[in-house]
Amino acid sequence: MSNAVILDGKAVAGRVRAEVKERAAEFARTRGRAPGLAVVKVGEDPASAVYVRNKRLACEEAGIQSFAFDLPHSISRQDLRAQINGLNLDPAVDGILVQLPLPAALDANEIMDLVDPAKDVDGFHPYNTGLLAQKRPCLRPCTPYGVIRLAQEYGIALHGLRATVVGASNIVGRPMALELMLAGATVTVCHTRTRDVQAEVQRADVVVAAVGKPGMVRGEWIRPGAAVFDVGINRTEAGRLVGDVDYAAAAERAAWITPVPGGIGPMTIAMLLSNTLDAATARN
């Protein structure tokens, strides 16, 4: 029988979105226009299409104007660069989101680096990552920021805890480690060269799993009383969505755990909207 508190990302995201809606209304009253988010999608990746649709709907509900740029798979590097540069200069656009993955012919790093750091609402630009590393966060990567906000909402004090992040991607793992250090945790990051992932997870008070492998973090690895944040979203052959953590077994040992779906996913979109308002306010 599970005693873990289920961290309801959907409910907390709802509160964040309500805050954003209020801030967006205030912004529109004082500036005479809604905050604007440009969402750039290249090609026809089906998962990207779903994510982009959800982001645009979330903008609409929050009172943020969404500018849609659905570009063909065959777009040239020069044309995409010109599109991004145009959005950087557009005064109605406060945030720019380039949906990943990009087609293989395009260098994602090059394109992401083109985005004006002041409009980088994904928080992926090296400038914003650097500020986070220097303990001066500005626009923060949405998923790690969502984990921190969820922990705060449930009163999980991260200060002094031992945290293990499983996964070292630029999008989640690395910035997650920086966020946890900023919150005062002692952090270990597991990656493909880590000798004993199980041992690193077993000693952690906080586990963040972000590898994209269903059930990779076993329930018996979880230290009793730990907080478990599962960032993975994987579809099984049966079509079910599952995380990177063996949920049922982990929930028997953890004190707090996020479900999949309904945990970190809704928080990511909520923090994107929050970042858009932060960018709009700072720019204006």
| Token pair of 238 as six digits | 């049966």
Q: What is the largest CA-CA distance in the chain?
A: 57
Catalytic hit among 41, 55, 119, 120: 55
Nearest to 116 by CA among 99, 133, 130, 97: 97
Nearest to 23 by CA among 284, 283, 274, 282: 274
CB atoms within 10 A of CB 47: 11
Catalytic hit among 99, 116, 244, 246: 99
DSSP labels for 95-160? Answer: EEEEPSPPPTTS-HHHHHHHS-GGGBTT--SHHHHHHHHTT--SS--HHHHHHHHHHHHTT---TT
Nearest to 96 by CA among 74, 73, 128: 128
Catalytic hit among 122, 230, 244, 246: 122
Catalytic status, residue 55: yes
Catalytic status, residue 134: no
Q: Please classify residue 167 by burial: count the beta carbons closer than 10 Å to its beta carbon, then call 0-12 exposed, 13-18 middle and 19+ buried.
A: buried
Phi, psi for residue 165 in degrees, rounded to 5:
-105, 120
CB atoms within 10 A of CB 256: 20
Catalytic status, residue 202: no
The catalytic site residues sit at: 55, 99, 122
